[in-house]
């Protein structure tokens, strides 16, 4: 695990990339947030982020995040960015401040049920497989309208927008296409459902420039901030 000085140097480098990408896309830097991905890193990774002014962290597993919360002294928002099995929905509702990876109607309905039972309104993002990658989770583009309708009908969920993970490909146009498809769909569905859908969680270490150019409002970065993961 790197020390905080090295983390902050890495953070400055990531912010410089984001700044340059925003300038190239003629967007304000304030439009794009950075979510540090702390999966498989110790609690210190979360403390570094909080001490450096980052208010949220991204975790992939419910149990890991729950364990870290018990040890973490910093006040941060916890976002689930990994696949969530429906049988862990109840635990996830209690652990996370937002769940980005809602990828089925069954999961959506279970989250609504458990959030209602917990007396809370749970912010969510709907995950879309906009790159049509068979190795990725998410609704197909053609089923996103149904997912949005179901989310808007839920009594205990707040739909903030969409997320996607671009296919792994050496061709940068593949990621670019996946991001642009989701942005265009967001614009279409926002109009047809008359709802904001402001959040577009798109882009990671390797493709953040393409994501920002396509309209991402949140970049999820782990490797460029913390180095290789422990597991």
How confident is the model at residue 170, as a pLDDT?
Answer: 85
Per-chain mean pLDDT for the chain: 96
**pLDDT single digits (tens) 46-78:** 999 999 999 999 999 999 999 999 999 999 999
**pLDDT single digits (tens) 92-149:** 999 999 999 999 999 999 999 999 999 999 999 999 999 999 999 999 999 999 999 9
Which 8-state DSSP code applies to residue 221? E
What CA–CA distance (Å, rounded) separates 65 from 72? 10
Beta bridge partners of 176: none
Q: Write down the CATH number for the domain with range 4-226.
A: 3.20.20.10
Give the full edge-to-edge strand order of the sheet including 122-127. Answer: 33-36, 218-221, 199-201, 157-163, 122-127, 98-102, 77-80, 56-59
How confident is the model at residue 1, as a pLDDT?
Answer: 73
Angle 43-51/4-25 helices, nearest 10 degrees? 60
How confident is the model at residue 229, as a pLDDT?
Answer: 66
What CA–CA distance (Å, rounded) separates 202 from 167? 12
CB crowding 104-121: b at 16 or more within 10 Å, else e? beebbbbbbbbbbeeeee
The domain spans of the chain are 4-226
Average pLDDT over residues 25-46: 96
How confident is the model at residue 228, as a pLDDT?
Answer: 77
Entry pTM: 0.95
pLDDT band with cut points at 50, 70 and 90 for residue 230? low
pLDDT above 70: residue 231: no
Closest CA to 167 of 125, 197, 200, 210: 210
> Residue length, the chain?
231
What are the Cα distances from residue 116, in Å, to 108, 146, 155, 171, 202? 12, 21, 7, 44, 28
């Amino acid at each position: 695990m790197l020390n905080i000085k090295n983390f902050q140097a890495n953070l400055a480098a990531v912010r410089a990339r984001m700044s340059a990408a925003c300038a190239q896309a003629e967007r304000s830097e304030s439009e794009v947030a950075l979510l540090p991905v702390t999966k498989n890193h110790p609690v210190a990774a979360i403390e570094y982020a909080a001490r450096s002014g980052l208010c949220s962290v991204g975790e992939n597993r419910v149990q890991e995040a729950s364990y870290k919360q018990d040890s973490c002294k910093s006040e941060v928002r916890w976002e689930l960015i990994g696949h969530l099995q429906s049988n862990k929905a109840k635990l996830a509702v209690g652990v996370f401040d937002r769940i980005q990876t809602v990828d089925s109607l069954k999961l959506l309905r279970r989250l609504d049920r458990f959030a209602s039972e917990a007396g809370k309104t749970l912010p969510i993002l709907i995950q879309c497989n906009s790159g049509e990658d068979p190795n990725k989770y998410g609704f197909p583009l053609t089923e996103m309208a149904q997912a949005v309708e179901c989310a808007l009908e839920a009594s205990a969920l707040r739909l903030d927008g969409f997320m996607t993970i671009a296919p792994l490909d050496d061709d940068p146009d593949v990621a670019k296409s996946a991001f642009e498809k989701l942005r265009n769909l967001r614009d279409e569905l926002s109009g047809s459902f008359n709802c904001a859908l402001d959040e577009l969680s798109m882009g990671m270490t390797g493709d953040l420039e393409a994501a920002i150019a396509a309209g991402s409002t949140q970049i999820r970065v782990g490797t460029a901030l913390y180095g290789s993961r422990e597991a």
